[in-house]
Structure 1
Amino acid sequence: MTTAPAPTTLGTPTMCLLHGDYHVMGQDCWATTLDWQFAHTDLEGPEARDAYLCEVERKMLDNLVRNR
């Protein structure tokens, strides 16, 4: 029996805190995500994920308000 290769995240759109957008992230985007994670080491697992996504959503809304 053959097994399918594991899915890759390369080229998968992701929530980006740097740009406040949902896109395929580059190195600068990932660096911002890692910086956020290192600044929030008190959060773990789902709590950390939810807090990160909340900040991305807040930035998205801020961008929408500024561009009106």
Structure 2
Amino acid sequence: MLTTPAPANTQPAMCLLHGDFHTMEQACWAATTDWYFNHQTMDEHGDRHAYLAAVERRMLDNLLETLR
């Protein structure tokens, strides 16, 4: 049986707000947009890599909090 793919807006993405990979809501997208707006001096690939690094850092920080 073939399944219908989910609409693009329900696809999980890297979320800096929560430091997680999940289906993002309005607050998540607002945090992402703010981050990109504050880092406009980077080139297209540099800002994407920096954003992913910031999300990974947030994920690690969240993990460390759960271990304390």
- Fold-level similarity (TM above 0.5): yes
Query: What is the percentage of aligned positions where both structures have the same residue?
Result: 50
Structure 1 unaligned regions, length at least 5: 1-6
Match of 1:21 in 2: 20
Structure 2 unaligned regions, length at least 5: 1-5
Match of 1:48 in 2: 47
Q: Higher helix fraction: Structure 1 or Structure 2?
A: 2
Residue identity matched to 1:33: T
TM-score, L = length of structure 1: 0.86
RMSD (CA atoms): 1.3
Moved over 3 A (4+): none
Pairs aligned (count)? 62
TM-score, L = length of structure 2: 0.86
Distance 2:59 2:10 in 1: 21
